Amino acid sequence: MADSGTEAVDRGMDKIGWARAHMDILEGIRARFKKELPFRGKTLSLVLHVEAKTAALALALKAGGADVHLAASNPLTTDDQVVAGLLSQGIDTLAKKGESAQDYQHGIDAMLAADPDIIIDDGADLVAAALQRGRTVIGSTEETTTGVVRLRAMEKDGKLRWPAIDVNDATMKHLFDNRYGTGQSTLDGIFTATNLTIAGRTAVVAGYGWCGKGVASRLRGLGAEVIVTEVDPAKAVEARLEGFRVLPMLDAVKEADLIVTVTGCLDVLTRKHFAVMKDGCLLANSGHFDVEVNTKDLARLAVRHRKVRPMVEEFTFRDGRKAYLLAEGRLVNLSAGQGHPVEIMDMSFALQALSAEYLVTSGKKLKPGVHAVPQELDDQVASAALQARGIKIDRLSETQKRYLSSWQEGT
């Protein structure tokens, strides 16, 4: 039964409350923002996955004086109860789970209509639309590998007209969010979609970037035999020395019980792979866009297609073999699962909040183009993450500092 309005708000606020209770770093920033109001008079448009952790970010920015607008960065990753909760808190939120391509576009349009000073993006769709329509902002922040690849291409073409902060490549983002976040949440999505066992299965991970490393390590931890596919020779060697088998995809699919794509590129699995794929193979994507599994090829090759669970479609080929596509080939971790664990998003969204503040204070001094998160902000989040976990570490003595700086000075 659908939630009544107030029930949805209450459940949404419970989910947001749980997330906030485990996001010590962001909540510390929120308390400071509330006192200092760094965003007073500023409009922030956010295109992010609309779920509980994202709500905590939106509320922290609002506490800092911002007029916050939020739309979905993917049609399948919205939590409708969280949307109800956010609307009850005065955050203009345009998102619905399973929304159409037109509604998705409408969300992007609404974010631009709000006339933002700052854009917070996940995948660079809002930045691309703003640039295309000749808009200008103080700056933007981006949290995905895919989004940063797109921003760098815009910068190279001379199209990026403002400073864009590359949150993805901050140490406190990619080392944890991309690796442990994607590692755990991808498995969460696969469990929820299938209710099947990982142990004893042969799992193929396509792409051995930070996300692929996380997924491969978690699959191995659960007892899968893991094969990695790569196009980058160094990453392929790295995967091999980490103990994984490395194969071309055309060979790997013949053994695979489960394939997870995390390359950021299109056509990782196409007709030629489906033609020789092991019977019963599960297909999951954890890359940003739904282009890694060629679902058109899959549909064309299949003689029968039906939905067998809420997030599982069965495709039967002419020879009787079957393949199972999870979450329509969209981000499995947020479409079928609950996204990255809360404490991981705490670090990522702390960096987003601090980077947005940095743009407000210093954005006008920055040249157009892609900029790294300032080291002191990365360090600040690292120290706060240790403190949140009650971990103490050593400090260099004055003698040690002199020793190290003598090497740096070449003396």
- Provide the binding-site residues for ligand ADE, judged by CB under 6 A: 48-49, 51, 53-54, 122, 143, 181, 185, 333-334, 339-340, 345
Nearest approach, Cβ of residue 49 and ligand ADE (Å): 4
- The span from the CA of 361 to the CA of 284, in Å, is 42
- The span from the CA of 136 to the CA of 281, in Å, is 47
For residues 96 and 82, the answer to whether their CB atoms sit within 8 Å is no
Nearer to ligand ADE, 17 or 280 (CB): 17
Nearer to ligand ADE, 325 or 345 (CB): 345
Nearest approach, Cβ of residue 132 and ligand ADE (Å): 23
Nearer to ligand ADE, 53 or 150 (CB): 53
The sheet with strand 312-317 has its strands ordered as 245-246, 225-229, 202-206, 258-261, 281-285, 322-326, 312-317, 302-309
Nearer to ligand ADE, 340 or 371 (CB): 340
Nearest approach, Cβ of residue 344 and ligand ADE (Å): 8
Could you tell me the sign of the dihedral formed by the alpha carbons of 332, 111, 68, 28, in that order?
A: positive
Nearest approach, Cβ of residue 138 and ligand ADE (Å): 23
Nearest Cα neighbor of 170 from 369, 371, 390 is 371
Nearer to ligand ADE, 277 or 332 (CB): 332
- Give the residue ranges of DSSP H helices in 22-75: 24-36, 52-63
Nearer to ligand ADE, 125 or 143 (CB): 143
DSSP H or E stretch at residue 305: strand 302-309
Q: CA distances (Å), 235 to each of 154, 213, 226, 369, in order? A: 26, 10, 15, 28
For residues 139 and 131, the answer to whether their CB atoms sit within 8 Å is no
Nearest approach, Cβ of residue 330 and ligand ADE (Å): 13
Nearest approach, Cβ of residue 73 and ligand ADE (Å): 8
Nearest Cα neighbor of 66 from 93, 31, 91, 29 is 91
